[in-house]
Amino acid sequence: MNYTKLAINSGLIVLALVVAYMLYDSVRVPIEFKNTWEGRETKVRERLVEIAELQKMYKTLRNTYAPSFDSLKYVLTTDSFEMEMQTQGAEGEIIKQGVTYRPAIDSLQTFLKKSVTGKTNVDEYFTEIALIPFSNNKQFRIEKDSAEVSGGVGGAVIQIPTFEVSAYYRDYLPEYDSSYMMYNADFNPIEVRKVGDLYKPSTSGNW
């Protein structure tokens, strides 16, 4: 038996297997990364959109945005929406008959029935909605401010409330570092996914 030839053949087989695995891995890794990123993006965006809706409700009540999730919870469970009472007159005109108030928590409870968190208990809901999915219980960053906008009487500059809720990519994709930028130039662990904008009136996301 030619042991030298056998050793060479065995070595070639091992090398071929290693090369085949490397080729397989070079295809598998970017595909898995793409699928994971897209799946998690969907969950994060859904939650950000929902938080933006809560901020809109808060603004209706307070004419500004909430600086924290605790403030969101407190106002939306204790405040009331002011509503004008109206009736239709004999001539079909609308007649205002004063003001009534509707507890904000009634609207919140209706909102929770469609929540992406699946939570209908208020305490559980606000605990869950504040968390960044896949982040090991990190919270979204939430901020409020105001921006100067031209549009007042005579073109005067006015202050408009603004807010921003955000998460770093690395928060919900912690297992992927900057080396994965080779698979997608749009990926950067320190970039943020956000809704709202501190520097201009917006309730949209940056996607």
| 44 close to 167: Cβ distance less than 8 angstroms | yes
CA distance 169 to 153: 42
- pLDDT of 24 reads 45
CA distance 140 to 51: 10
- pLDDT of 166 reads 98
- pLDDT of 5 reads 63
- pLDDT of 161 reads 97
Stretch 4-13: mean pLDDT: 61
Stretch 149-158: mean pLDDT: 78
At 51-101, the pLDDT tens digits run 999 999 999 999 999 999 999 999 999 999 887 767 776 676 766 677 788
Q: How sure is the predictor about 150, in pLDDT bands with cuts at 50, 70 and 90?
A: confident
Higher pLDDT, 27 or 189: 189
Q: How sure is the predictor about 8, in pLDDT bands with cuts at 50, 70 and 90?
A: low
CA distance 62 to 80: 10
